[in-house]
């Protein structure tokens, strides 16, 4: 069995040369799937894996726009519509200079399994651009978003493909994208994008959902060992949407969050990160984390370096892929780490995951632990479809129930495949089987 899977994987990788992050994501999933194929040989006969690894559609397009100085700028836009077995393609848009096809494909591939795990009717996709919104004016961001949507609009729709935010794409960008979609199509089609503003079709809790969900998932893992997040010493990487809301929820549940970072450095605040100040600096002023130090006593700011040098019992990587390597993992383990909840997508390298698992650390992989964001996007779609809007408390309760359910299904699947506590195995198998069953039922497409 393993050799048949290896041959399929090697063919997939050879077909997408140089797409390193995509290779990494595929390799990790394949590592989990041999036992499933022993139970379900029909998946091999139907070439489910070969089909799953080839996106249904990939769109790459030019995005021309004019900057404030009147110069013409050209970026590259992507949308990879990976798999629609369970529902319309669904997944975020990332605007960051590092974006390329391999990164969009890794994110889209992960999204298939994540969306399956939510239990909601969602296929998997991802998109973005190498546009860097940092230090751009609102007008420049608007013109970029309008140009991006002028091509993207023909590929998306409430029943086709529903983008949302990711790195560099938040409420401001979704607003500009939605406005242009509405203008071109002459339709107020709320369900075409999620992460919208509350007054025009968005859902309460969607901004908080990924970070909150990651903490809820981590709390569930700790509970299996009779522990809790309360009283834990937590380090979070990043200081964007996912990180800030993870910090807020961890503190609300009684944890002490002592450090967070951005791409330039990290702060250590032993009294606990001041979330209101962090939101003011990062969300309102769109400033740098360095400014936190000047506004609060007894805080140290470290330029460069790694936030994973700060000791923690719980680590929540919430910035970007491959930000936590094997050496950082080994150091955290030596210094008393209990649990890792991945708020970001694939933030731990393969080596880091191995270090955590060999040390018996509770490890919640991103496709399970950060699924609360997309799950709440599905709740936003439900509210749009019924022209309803739910209260914060009701929506948060739905999110909590979904996260507990994802945790429990990953744990039960790992146990039923003979590896209790292995959430990587549980998430990959549980996510995969539902998609594979649907693909079998829908024929060769
Ligand atoms: P934001 O743009 O709001 O924040 C990203 C944060 O990560 C910033 O602090 C940024 O620092 C830092 N960062 C980004 N790229 C790098 C890099 N290459 N090196 C170091 N630091 C970096 O994005 P989100 O919080 O939305 O996303 C964070 C992670 O969570 C991503 O992996 C994303 O895919 C994942 N995710 C997001 C979801 C969502 O709903 N938004 C849902 C599920 C997962 P700086 O400001 O200096 O650039
Ligand atoms: O990685 C992710 O799950 C997201 N960026 C959120 C996707 C969504 O459609 O809400």
65 alpha carbon – ligand 1 mean position (Å): 24
Catalytic residue among 114, 126, 282, 367: 126
- Which spans in 98-170 are helix H? 101-117, 138-152
Judgement on whether residues 354 and 224 belong to the same structural domain of the protein? yes
Asked whether residue 385 is domain-assigned, the answer is no
Last residue of a domain, one of 342, 369, 396: 369
Q: Are 244 and 283 in contact (CB under 8 A)?
A: yes
Q: Do residue 105 and residue 49 come from a single domain?
A: no
What percentage of the chain's residues is helix, strand, coil (to nearest 5)? Answer: 50, 15, 30
- Domain assignment present for residue 11? The answer is yes
164 and 214 share a domain? no
> What residue's CA is closest to ligand 1, atom 15?
320
Do residues 150 and 19 both lie within one domain? Answer: no
Exposure string (b/e) for 322-361, b if CB count within 10 Å is 16 or more?
A: bbbbbebbbebbeeebbbbbbbbbbbbbeebbebbbeeeb
Quote the radius of gyration of the chain (alpha carbons, Å).
21
Q: Are residue 45 and residue 70 in the same domain, yes or no?
A: no
Supply the pLDDT for residue 54.
98
Tell me the C-alpha distance between 340 and 354, whole Å: 13
Q: Which atom of ligand 2 is nearest to the CA of 122?
A: 9
Rounded distance from Cα 419 to ligand 1 centre (Å): 31
Distance 168 CA to ligand 2 centre (A): 12
Q: Are residues 48 and 74 in the same domain?
A: no
Predicted local confidence at residue 2, as pLDDT = 84
Task: Tell me if 94 sits within 8 A of 174, measured CB to CB.
Answer: no
User: Measured from the CA of 94, which atom of ligand 2 is nearest?
Assistant: 5
d(CA 184, CA 261): 39
Instruction: Examine residue 421 and state whether it is found in any structural domain, yes or no.
Output: no
CA–CA gap between residue 223 and residue 407 (Å, rounded)? 11
Same domain, yes or no, for 98 and 6?
no
Residue 193, in any domain of the structure: no
**Is residue 177 located within the same domain as residue 80?**
yes
In angstroms, rounded to a whole number, what is the distance separating the alpha carbons of residues 268 and 302? 8
Do 73 and 169 fall within a single domain? yes
Domain closes at, from 317, 345, 369: 369
Residue 429 lies in a domain: no
Give the count of domains, the chain: 3
Domain assignment of residue 231, yes or no: yes
- Residues 181, 293 share a domain: no
* Average confidence (pLDDT) per 10 residues, the chain, 445 residues: 91 97 98 94 96 98 98 98 98 98 98 98 98 96 98 98 98 98 98 98 98 98 98 98 98 98 98 98 97 96 97 98 98 98 98 98 98 98 97 98 98 97 98 98 95
**Are 150 and 248 part of one and the same domain?**
no
268 in any annotated domain: yes
Nearest alpha-carbon partner for 23 in 128, 125, 102: 102
Domain boundary among 313, 342, 369: 369
What ligand is nearest to the CA atom of residue 169? 1
Please give the pLDDT value at position 1: 65
Pocket-testing residue among 242, 317, 346, 403, ligand 1, by greatest number of atoms within 8 A of Cβ: 242
- Ligand 1 pocket by Cβ (under 6 Å): 96, 98, 165-168, 210, 238-243, 262-264, 318-320, 343-345, 370, 373
The boundaries of the domain holding residue 40 are 1-54
Distance CA 408, CA 67 (A): 49
Is residue 336 a part of any domain in this protein? yes
If asked whether residues 213 and 340 sit together in one domain, one would say yes
126 is annotated as an active-site residue: yes
> Domain of 238: which CATH number?
3.40.50.720
- Per DSSP, the three-state class of 73 is strand
Three-state secondary-structure class, residue 201: coil
Distance 253 CA to ligand 1 centre (A): 23
CATH number at residue 83: 3.40.50.10860
The model carries a pTM of: 0.98
């Amino acid at each position: 069995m393993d050799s048949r899977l290896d041959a399929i994987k090697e063919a997939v990788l050879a077909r997408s040369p140089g797409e390193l992050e995509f290779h990494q994501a595929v390799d990790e999933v394949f590592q989990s799937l041999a036992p499933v194929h022993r139970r379900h040989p029909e998946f091999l006969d139907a070439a489910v894996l070969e089909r799953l690894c080839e996106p249904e559609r990939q769109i790459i397009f030019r995005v021309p726009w004019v900057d404030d100085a009147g110069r013409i700028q050209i970026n590259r836009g992507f949308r990879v519509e990976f798999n629609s077995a369970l529902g319309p393609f669904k997944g975020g848009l990332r605007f960051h200079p590092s974006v390329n096809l391999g990164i969009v494909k890794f994110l889209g591939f992960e999204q298939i399994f994540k969306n399956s795990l939510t239990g909601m009717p969602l296929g998997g996709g991802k998109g973005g651009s190498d546009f860097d919104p940092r230090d751009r004016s609102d007008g420049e961001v608007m013109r970029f978003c309008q140009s991006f949507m002028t091509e993207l609009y023909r590929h998306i729709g409430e029943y086709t493909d529903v983008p949302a935010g990711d790195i560099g794409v938040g409420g401001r960008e979704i607003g500009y994208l939605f406005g242009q979609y509405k203008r071109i199509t002459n339709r107020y089609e709320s369900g075409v994008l999620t992460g919208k503003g509350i007054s025009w079709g968005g859902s309460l809790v969607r901004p908080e959902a990924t970070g909150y969900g990651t903490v809820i998932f981590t709390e569930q893992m700790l509970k299996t060992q009779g522990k809790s997040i309360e009283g834990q010493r937590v380090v979070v990487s990043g200081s964007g949407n996912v990180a800030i809301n993870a910090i807020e929820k961890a503190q609300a549940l009684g944890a002490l969050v002592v450090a967070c970072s951005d791409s330039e450095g990290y702060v250590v605040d032993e009294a606990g990160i001041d979330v209101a100040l962090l939101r003011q600096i990062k969300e309102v002023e769109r400033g740098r984390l360095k400014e936190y130090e000047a506004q609060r006593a007894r805080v140290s700011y470290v330029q460069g370096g790694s936030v994973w040098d700060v000791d923690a019992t719980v680590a929540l990587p919430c910035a970007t892929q491959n930000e936590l390597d094997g050496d950082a993992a080994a150091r955290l383990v030596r210094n008393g780490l209990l649990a890792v909840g991945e708020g970001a997508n694939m933030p731990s390298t393969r080596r880091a995951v191995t270090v955590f698992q060999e040390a018996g650390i509770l490890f919640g992989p991103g496709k399970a632990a950060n699924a609360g964001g997309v799950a709440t996007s599905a709740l936003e779609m439900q509210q749009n479809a019924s022209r309803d809007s739910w209260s914060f408390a009701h929506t948060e309760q739905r999110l909590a129930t979904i996260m507990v359910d994802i945790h429990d299904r990953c744990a039960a699947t790992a146990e039923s495949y003979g590896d209790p506590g292995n959430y990587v195995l549980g998430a990959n198998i549980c996510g995969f089987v539902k998609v594979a069953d649907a693909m079998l039922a829908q024929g060769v497409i």
